[in-house]
Amino acid sequence: MKRTYLLLGIAAFTLASFSKIDSDKKYIKKTTIKVQSNDGERLIAKSDCVGCHKLDKKLIGPAYIDVAKKYANTDKNVSYLADKIIKGGSGVWGSMPMSAHSSLKKEDAKSMAKYILSLKK
C-alpha cells in the first residue's frame, strides 16, 4: 500500500514538474472567427445539381465556371438564372433540358445563381 502511494506521489510530482506556470503573463481572451460558407454553395451541394453540373467540367450541363463566364454578375442575370433554376429549360447550352426545381424558393435560387456568377475570374 505504501508503495502504491509512493508511486502515485512520484507520478503526480513528475507531471507537475512539466507544467509551466508564468504568473507574469496576461491572459488574453481568444476570439473565434466564424467563417460562413456561401449559402448558394451549400444549397447546390445539398441539391441534385451535382448530378449534372461540376465546378470546372462539363457533365450533362455546363460547368459553373462556364456559366459565370457567359453571364455578367448583375441583378438581371441573377433573376434570369434563378428563374431557369426553378422552371428548368433547354436550348441555351444544348438540346439536353435542365429539369425544373419548382419546390425551390426564389431566394434560394437567387443565392445559388449569385454563387455561380461569383465564380467568374
Residue 22: inside a domain: no
Q: How many domains does the chain have?
A: 1
DSSP state for residue 8 in the 8-state scheme = H
10 Å CB burial of residue 95 (0-12, 13-18, 19+) is exposed
| pLDDT one-digit tens code per residue, 55-110 | 999 999 999 999 999 999 999 999 999 999 999 988 889 888 999 999 999 999 99
Residue 55: inside a domain: yes
Residue 82 sits in a domain of what CATH number? 1.10.760.10
Q: Dihedral angle at the C-alpha atoms of 35, 114, 52, 87, nearest 10 degrees?
A: 130
Q: Give mean pLDDT, residues 109-120.
A: 94
Residue 14: inside a domain: no
Residue 112: inside a domain: yes
Residue 113: inside a domain: yes
Residue 95: inside a domain: yes
Residue 68: give the domain boundaries: 38-121
